[in-house]
Structure 1
Amino acid sequence: MTQSADLIESNDATGRTVAFTGSLALAQLGDLPNRTDAIEGDVARIDLTQVTQIDTIGAWIVHSLAKRTQAEITGASDDAMRLIDVVSRNDQPLETRNVPPHPIVRILEEVGVATRMTFNTMIGLLGFLGAVVITSFMLLRHPSRIRLIAVVQRIEVVGISALFIIGLMSFLVGIVIAQQGSVQLEQFGMEVLTVNLVGRLTFRELGVLMTAIMVAGRSGSAFAAQIGTMQLNEEVDAMRTIGVSPMEALVMPRIMAAVIMMPLLGFYASVMAVIGGAFLCAVSLDIPPVTFFQRLREVVPLTDLYIGLIKAPVFGLIIAIAGCFQGLQVRGNAEEVGLRTTAAVVQAIFIVIVLDAIFAVFFTWLGWK
């Protein structure tokens, strides 16, 4: 049976000696640490000849006593001395930053971290876009692998379930555009140009852009949360284990649904915004709906409609890619799901607005004014 740790103090002509006996392992120490701390004064030697076992805690006790009393360690085995040497080498004071960094340094540090994170995210999105393109070509070569039921389900969630909220929002936006535009044009006696303002602005820009923002907040966040929860529960890993591609089963149905529904939702939103503008013109400006729509046909070129329909599927692709990408990045805990969902919405809206500005410059350069 292992003997419990003990110490014996003695004095002779060479000085004071502290001899440890028994096992200096954690389970056998007992009150030895307190007795060691109570030793005061000079100690010439620490004798470990009768020590049968020692672990890191025991080595720390011996090292602390030797350091405090400037004693020499004798009688230790080779293993014990190696362990005591390791403990002594790691007995170094930690450097702490008591002085907070300068505010400018802290701001620059945060900007650097944000820039690096943004760069890494953009690289990840580009890589994910490449994976989507590869999967799309594979599905085109093997159409039987397209999950039509999943696509139809996503179409219902992205499109049909969103008709009411998108229609109501667009109707109110049309009223606001007509009201604010008529107030400004009234100063010049040109209230009739409110029709031009509502028609061209909704079909060319706001109809598709507001729809994209609504879909990003509604469906993009849902994509990130759903896939993120599956990632957290290891369902995505289980799909890979049984040979099911998450890109085909989870990502592509959502992307296809968003790309298909965005042009339809954008056109629907534009029509509802025009109806809202016509309603306000009929109430406030005494412009009958028949006159409003006749004027609308004269002043709104088909190119405005084409521009909106061209931008819509691109916006849908960006929203779906951002949501699915962030969902697949979830790691660790449930809090990560919320963070990634927020990131998906912010990134999708940001990229959509940037692309909308690029499209505006591009179509103007083409002469589609």
Structure 2
Amino acid sequence: MDGLAQFEVDEGADGGATLALSGPYLISTIGGVDEDLRGLDREFSKVDLSEVSEIDTVGAWVACSLATEHNAEIVGASDRAQRLMKALEGSHEGEAVSAPRAQLLQRVPEAIGEKVYNGRRGFMGVLGFLGALLVAAGNVIRHPSRFRSLALVRQMELVGVSALPIVGLMSFLIGVVIAQQGAVQLAQFGAETLTVNLVGRITLRELGVLMTAIMVAGRSGSAFAAQLGTMKLTEEVDAMRTIGISPMEALVIPRILAAIIMMPLLGFYACATAIIGGAVIGDVMLGIPFWTFLFRIQEVVPTYDLWVGLIKAPVFGLIVSLAGCYHGMKVENDSEQVGLRTTMAVVTGIFAVIVLDAFFAVFFTKVGWA
């Protein structure tokens, strides 16, 4: 049995029992007696470690736990065992550990105050970013040679051209769903032909541009935040400032202009593909010929519905790009901030787009474009 941890309980002459541990009490050997020690139901007043040949932190913790559980005294401990048990003082206590928590009436005002303060700080940060952007735009207008046209073309390709497949597929499927579901509901009133009106107006006026903005926020807004955030962490932005290049002029302005320019084009493209999707469903399910559906769109959809969507598109592009660039330029300290700020850029961009769309709906209704 050499090389294995062992124990026995000896009855003392004074009536007090002693738990004698022997052998190596190491993490590799203690497994054989651990279950027996846990199930030990005899009382003892001492834990004798004089026959323990080797001991590590796990063995010291077991000895301390047994002594605490049975209110026993540890005797015969070697210098190493004493050092380990001293380091483990308090670790074997069974009391639940919990963080101190203030009362509800104190926690709620503190949480509200913290959120208000953070909101104020965030508002000031946005104002500072917008101010720096306006200064950079003014410098570019006064010195056109500083404008980076190649960077603008590259960003237009990334924001617009590269997004055509996914935006087209999404819009086509949206048109299919609107036409199919609309036809099912309108059929109850014998008005299936009004599906043309439904698809045309809702895609040109609302869903075409709105869904495109959401897609751009998730695709390009997140890319802006991740790219700029990574450049902040790798100190490329600081290096640009050191050599006299404005990061706002070189990095932010081309991205914002690309989003503003490409959003109306993407929005119009999305509306066209959605209408084509509706025409396909009209031809397959409703018996409305494909070209008749498209010609009918020109008759039943007012021209101002197209202008409503095109007016909203650049504003949505501005909001999405501002959210992405702002959060990207706010990355600092560690790489975790890149993921956090990227998520915040997408969430704030989509939220702002939906809120603005509601304001646009009210505004255009008031001016008679309903």
TM-score, with structure 1 as normaliser: 0.71
CA distance, structure 2, for counterparts of residue 286 and residue 102 of structure 1: 68
Cα 1:98/1:304, change in 2 over 3 Å: closer
- Aligned-partner SS, 1:187: helix
Distance apart, 1:295 and its partner CA: 1.5
Q: Which residue of 2 aligns with 1:331?
A: 332
Distance apart, 1:142 and its partner CA: 1.8
Q: Which residue of 1 aligns with 2:151?
A: 150
One-letter code of the match for 2:297?
Answer: L
Q: Which residue of 2 aligns with 1:189?
A: 190
CA distance, structure 1, for counterparts of residue 352 and residue 335 of structure 2: 26
CA distance, structure 2, for counterparts of residue 292 and residue 236 of structure 1: 53
Aligned ranges for residues 113-152 of structure 1 at < 5 Å?
A: 113-152=114-153
Q: Which residue of 2 aligns with 1:277?
A: 278
Q: Which residue of 2 aligns with 1:358?
A: 359
Distance apart, 1:123 and its partner CA: 3.2
- Aligned-partner SS, 1:346: helix
1:342 to 2:350 alignment: no
User: CA-atom RMSD, angstroms?
Assistant: 1.9
One-letter code of the match for 2:343?
Answer: T
CA distance, structure 1, for counterparts of residue 160 and residue 295 of structure 2: 30
Q: Which residue of 1 aligns with 2:257?
A: 256
CA distance, structure 1, for counterparts of residue 202 and residue 109 of structure 2: 40
CA distance, structure 1, for counterparts of residue 161 and residue 215 of structure 2: 14
Structure 2: 5+ residue stretches without partners: 1-96
One-letter code of the match for 2:369?
Answer: W
- Aligned-partner SS, 1:349: helix
CA distance, structure 1, for counterparts of residue 277 and residue 107 of structure 2: 49
CA distance, structure 2, for counterparts of residue 178 and residue 109 of structure 1: 51
Cα 1:179/1:137, change in 2 over 3 Å: same
Aligned ranges for residues 205-220 of structure 1 at < 5 Å?
A: 205-220=206-221
Q: Which residue of 1 aligns with 2:295?
A: 294
Q: Which residue of 2 aligns with 1:179?
A: 180
Distance apart, 1:108 and its partner CA: 5.6
Structure 1: 5+ residue stretches without partners: 1-95
Distance apart, 1:133 and its partner CA: 2.5
One-letter code of the match for 1:123?
Answer: M
- Aligned-partner SS, 1:333: coil
One-letter code of the match for 2:174?
Answer: V
CA distance, structure 1, for counterparts of residue 99 and residue 265 of structure 2: 60
Cα 1:180/1:112, change in 2 over 3 Å: farther
Distance apart, 1:101 and its partner CA: 3.8
Q: Report if the CA contact (8 A) 1:125-1:322 is conserved.
A: no
Distance apart, 1:134 and its partner CA: 2.6
1:204 to 2:205 alignment: yes
CA deviation profile, 1:221-250 (whole Å, cap 9, x unmatched):
000000000101111111111100000010
CA deviation profile, 1:85-110 (whole Å, cap 9, x unmatched):
xxxxxxxxxxx996534567656644
Cα 1:179/1:106, change in 2 over 3 Å: farther
1:163 to 2:168 alignment: no
CA distance, structure 2, for counterparts of residue 180 and residue 111 of structure 1: 44
Q: Report if the CA contact (8 A) 1:266-1:312 is conserved.
A: yes
CA deviation profile, 1:123-162 (whole Å, cap 9, x unmatched):
3223322322232232222221110111111011101111
Aligned ranges for residues 33-112 of structure 1 at < 5 Å?
A: 100-102=101-103, 106=107, 109-112=110-113
One-letter code of the match for 1:237?
Answer: D
One-letter code of the match for 2:195?
Answer: T
Cα 1:108/1:353, change in 2 over 3 Å: farther
Distance apart, 1:116 and its partner CA: 3.6
Question: Structure 1 stretch 109-118 or stretch 176-185: which is displaced more?
Answer: 109-118
Cα 1:172/1:104, change in 2 over 3 Å: farther
Cα 1:98/1:291, change in 2 over 3 Å: closer
Cα 1:226/1:187, change in 2 over 3 Å: same
Percent of paired sites with the same residue: 63
CA distance, structure 2, for counterparts of residue 221 and residue 328 of structure 1: 12
Cα 1:103/1:185, change in 2 over 3 Å: farther
Cα 1:98/1:129, change in 2 over 3 Å: closer
One-letter code of the match for 1:294?
Answer: F
- Aligned-partner SS, 2:101: coil
Cα 1:115/1:180, change in 2 over 3 Å: farther
CA distance, structure 2, for counterparts of residue 332 and residue 155 of structure 1: 31
